[in-house]
A and B are shown apart, each in its own frame.
Chain A
Amino acid sequence: MKTMVVLGMLAALCTPLSYAETRGEQLYETYCSQCHGLNGAGGGINVPDMAVQPRDHTDTAEMSARTDEELAKAIREGGKAVNKSVLMPAWDSNLSDRQIDDLVVYLRHLCCEQ
């Protein structure tokens, strides 16, 4: 039984990304990683001269406090729209609604499913 539980846990850890998560991962790499870091922890290459540190997307507590709608709004309309830093730009010109949804799915994977 114990073996089954361990195997089950291992399987959960190794679960491949869903289709939406994979699309979100690609979008995250392209549009977000420069500031939020390739691993999402907030240490992107643009950070050293930034006045405000980008959000750590692996911070489970902080990210769990945000709804999917809030995350989508921050991406679509920028940080200012959700009372956060103006350094986070609005991506509504670059990303479709579906792409923004995929990014939110990937953010949930980053923060809370790893």
Chain B
Amino acid sequence: MVRTLETILAIASLVVATEMVFGAEAEFVQENCASCHALTEPDFEALGIEARAERKAPPLYYAGDKYRRDWLVEWLQAPERIRPAGVYPPAHISSSPDGDEIDEASLPTHVVLDQSQAERVADYLSSLRPYQERIDSVTYEPGSISWRMGQMNFVKFNNCIGCHQDEPGYGGVSGPELHTAWDRLRPEFIFSYTKDPVSWDPHTMMPGGDLNDGAVEKLANYLKAVSEEAE
């Protein structure tokens, strides 16, 4: 009981401290981002899976656990689409006798920030770390993997290619592109999300939960190799 109270007080003081430091930034993000991005954790169970169809953009309430701050600064100034079919692909698909196609005209564009705004927003988003403990518990150390073995894991053994692209223009289009993932995401997040996507997002469209640590490390190392190859 005492420990629970201590935890609640610690979280409350952290929230207050964050708001004191980032008051203006928090207000800016609330005003400009909240219409598309979730800024607080939704009640997934109460909402039901129907809510997934309403999602317009990735949730940002754990942005600090997920994104690299430097990537955020750059991307917010020159946003480029990461998910070829949007955040909820079925909303951007048109059916034809030859199969489904992405309706490009239906995909939204992202607001562009100037450098000062981008840096301040990135700093604020980087402070949103409700799952810091989960990230801190990840023991993954980035390493290397041969291109051939990495691709075998990505394509043949785990079928990541079914939904994700590991090079521009090749692979599935329903998931976010992964040839830019290493530059975009914290390595610990890549490991943790790949290992158990549902624990991060109960409404994720990514299957998972059956890979051992070694298999996840190989996939994370492949994303690192893909990023280094692109440089």
Contact = CB atoms under 8 A, between A and B. Distances in A.
Given A94-B198, A94-B207, A49 B85 contact: no
A45 B93 contact: yes
Given A46-B163, A46-B174, A29 B53 contact: yes
B162 A35 contact: yes
Nearest to B197: A93
B199 to A, nearest CB: 9
A44 B100 contact: yes
B204 interface: yes
Interface stretch (B18-26, B59-67, B113-121, B165-173): B165-173
A50 interface: yes
B204 A38 contact: no
Interface of B is mostly: mixed
A45 B102 contact: yes
Contacts of B85: 34, 45
Chief secondary structure at chain A's binding surface = loop
Given A29-B53, A38-B93, A89-B159, A45 B198 contact: no
B112 interface: no
A90 interface: yes
Interface of B: 49-50, 52-53, 85, 89-90, 93, 95, 98-102, 159, 161-163, 170-174, 196-198, 204-205, 207-210
Interface of A: 26-27, 29-31, 33-35, 37-39, 43-47, 49-50, 86-87, 89-94, 99
